[in-house]
Amino acid sequence: MHIRLITPEETLPIRHSVLWPAKPIEFCQVKEDNSGIHFGAFENDSLVCVASVFITGTRARLRKFATLHEHQGNGIGTQVIEHIIEYLKRHGVTYFWCDARESAQDFYARFGMQKQGERFFKSDEPYFKMSVELN
């Protein structure tokens, strides 16, 4: 498995199939995609996981993080988040956050991310803001 930067367009098929398969693919786009940094994890030259990061000053937000269903549970997502955190530290980012689906909060907690505030909903899906200070 290797991780490299990809284009926003390359993220869309996985975002769509994993996160919002019942919505049109346009629903999976982020208005700021062209200003984001997009990471892709590849197994045997096939893209299996995507993550988009948006940096503002020393703060970074993770958005649209998705691993193909058949590759989940194999540590790929963990490797991608670890890669992103190291990338952010090298680039002077000190605060990393995301809107985490409630079902994924234990995953993000493994990286020191903690819930901030109350549960909220996006398209009927429950979320929590989660964040961590990077050293």
The number of distinct structural domains making up the chain is 1
84-109 residues labelled b (16+ CB within 10 A) or e (exposed)? bbebbeeeebeebbbebbeeebebbe
CATH number of domain containing 86: 3.40.630.30
Q: What is the pTM of this model?
A: 0.93
Strands 2-6 and 59-67: unpaired
One pLDDT digit (tens) per residue for the chain, 135 residues = 999 999 999 999 999 999 989 999 999 899 999 999 999 999 999 999 999 999 999 999 999 999 999 999 999 999 999 999 999 999 999 999 999 999 999 999 999 999 999 999 988 889 999 999 998
Domain that holds residue 50: 2-133
